[in-house]
A = this chain, B = another copy of it.
Amino acid sequence: MSKAGVKFKDIETRLMKDEEFKAEFEKLKPRYELIAQIIDARNQLNITQEELALRVGTQKSNISRFESGAYNTSLDFVTKIVRSLGKEIHITIN
């Protein structure tokens, strides 16, 4: 192994991490893409998390948590949020 060089094992590990990351991201894609759309819409409308929270009937901290994508949200919750932005949610398969 070269003295100052990069070790194969390291590259392998790095690539592995990439694969893991990609796989994880792929799994969570629907969640992230939905959230991205919602944040976009909220910004377009110039609505604060606080205002959205008010409309949804929750707290701004919960909206922040939701937008962070930190957990596996429910259909009802996203539906309430989307509608509180004056939009409708459409779900299709394939």
Contacts and interface: CB of A to CB of B under 8 A. Distances in A.
A93 interface: yes
Contact of A94 (B30, B34, B87, B92): B87
Q: How many copies does the complex hold?
A: 2
B75 A34 contact: yes
A91 B93 contact: no
B74 A30 contact: no
Given A37-B93, A38-B93, A75 B76 contact: no
A93 B78 CA distance: 10
Contacts of A76: 31, 72
Contacts of A91: 30, 33-34, 37, 89-91
19 contacts: A30-B75, A30-B89, A30-B91, A31-B75, A31-B76, A34-B75, A41-B93, A72-B74, A72-B76, A74-B74, A74-B75, A75-B75, A82-B93, A87-B93, A87-B94, A89-B91, A89-B92, A90-B92, A91-B91
